[in-house]
Amino acid sequence: MKNNIPVTKNFLLTRQLFVWLIFYFVLVGGVFAYAKEWYSQHDENQLPSGHIELMMSKSAYQLGETVEFTVVNRFPTTVYVTNHCPNEPLNVYRWEGEQWVVLHDTVLGGKSVCASEERNVAIPTEGSRTYNFSDWPNLFKEPGVYRIALVVDHYIDIPFEDFVILQPAEVVEIMEEPVYKTSPTPVVPADPAIVEEVPVVEESKIVVVEEVEEEKEREDEDEDEREEENDD
């Protein structure tokens, strides 16, 4: 019996140690999980699940027309976009040959719109911010295919949009042919010298001819009557 007492004590000590080890690991694991969750919620260098959209008002612009874009925040928290003034607000590229070439421009003077903006522009959840390149007109001074891309700190994806600056249409001048107004051709009377003379019959002569014809008709009728009487 005496030999069994140390064995029993050793077993109890081992069991207690094992229980304490389990409790320690559970406690440490819980603290670590809580700390990780707290850190992920308060870490400014990590964005939660979501995305950022970059949109344009249209896909083709006339040469000299102001290029406009909109940034939309699809994250559940506020997103901050850096204001790079006096440099361009987004990365700008132009397709030349077989590759994209980076373009740069700088605002001249301190009266630009971007100079009055905050260095970090806040865009709330499901909010948007519309801006344009009016302060950087030299970026799109030639016709061609362009690309703008938005880089946000701690955001892996880079949203971008492609668009075209159109070639100005050639103005074709149409020469109008002069219109000549024509007047009706006047009727020129024939030369009296070459017009054939038409014989004019006087009215008195026409009356005499009619009387002679009537007298002849009466004589013929009288002669017919006499012949009829002789036959009887």
Main-chain phi, psi angles of 168, to 5 degrees: -60, 140
Confidence of residue 195 (pLDDT cuts 50, 70, 90): very low
CATH number for 52-166: choose from 2.60.40.2950, 3.10.310.10, 1.10.10.10, 2.60.40.420. Answer: 2.60.40.2950
Residue spans per domain, the chain:
1-43, 52-166
- Residue 56: φ, ψ to 5°: -125, 155
Judge contact between 105 and 88, C-beta under 8 A. Answer: yes
Range 209-230 average pLDDT? 72
Over residues 15-66, the pLDDT tens digits come to 777 777 787 788 888 887 777 666 655 555 555 678 999 999 899 999 999 9
* 9 or 13, higher pLDDT: 13
Answer whether residue 130 shows pLDDT above 60. yes
Structure tokens at 94: 């132009």
Taking residues 187-206, what's their average pLDDT? 53
Residue 170 confidence (pLDDT) above 80: no
pLDDT of residue 105: 92
pLDDT at 1 over 90: no
Between 178 and 195, where is the model more confident?
Answer: 178
Q: What is the pLDDT of residues 100-123, one digit of tens each?
A: 999 999 987 666 778 888 889 999
**Mean pLDDT over each residue of the chain, to the nearest integer:** 79
Q: What is the pTM of this model?
A: 0.55
Q: Does residue 144 contact residue 164 with C-beta atoms inside 8 Å?
A: yes
Percent of the chain past pLDDT 90, that is, above it, reads 37
Q: What is the reported pLDDT for 142?
A: 94
CA angle 215, 216, 219 (to 5 degrees): 90
The reported pLDDT for the residue numbered 47 is 54
74 or 229: which carries more pLDDT confidence? 74
Q: What angle do CA 20, 24, 28 make, to 5 degrees?
A: 175
Flag whether pLDDT at 138 surpasses 70: yes
- What is the distance between the alpha carbons of residues 103 and 138, in angstroms, rounded to a whole number? 9
Q: How confident is the model at residue 154 (pLDDT cuts 50, 70, 90)?
A: confident
